[in-house]
Amino acid sequence: MRDNVKGGALTEVTFYILLSLYTPKHGYAVMQFIEEETHGRLELGAGTLYGALNALLEKGWIAPWGEAEGRKKEYRVTPLGRERAERELQRLRALAETASRIIGGVT
């Protein structure tokens, strides 16, 4: 996963995964959430999703949740993951404000 630690930017996929897991979900539900919230603009394959979930588990940004039903493991964002998502939201707001000021000022 290529999240820019120095600049603080998360990849769009990472940000959406963290957002999706504010409510516990299994992998397929995460994929559905992302596709629905982006109106089909982002569609994750299983390999991409599970690779990202494993990376987020290693970083401590998400954690397993509840009892696993067979192969369906549920995950939930951790306090550290919430902090990263909130920082990303602040970064995106600042970016949008700067862009709006510049673009809005063009005649």
The domain limits of the chain are 12-104
User: What is the reported pTM?
Assistant: 0.86
> Fold for domain 12-104?
Arc Repressor Mutant, subunit A (1.10.10)
Of 24, 74, 16, the C-alpha closest to 40 is: 16
The alpha carbon of residue 2 and the mean position of all alpha carbons in its chain are separated, in whole angstroms, by 13
Residue 16 is predicted with a pLDDT of 97
pLDDT band at 5 (very low <50, low <70, confident <90, very high): low
What are 19-58's pLDDT values in tens digits?
A: 999 999 999 999 999 999 999 999 999 999 999 999 999 9
Of 62, 59, 50, 52, the C-alpha closest to 24 is: 62
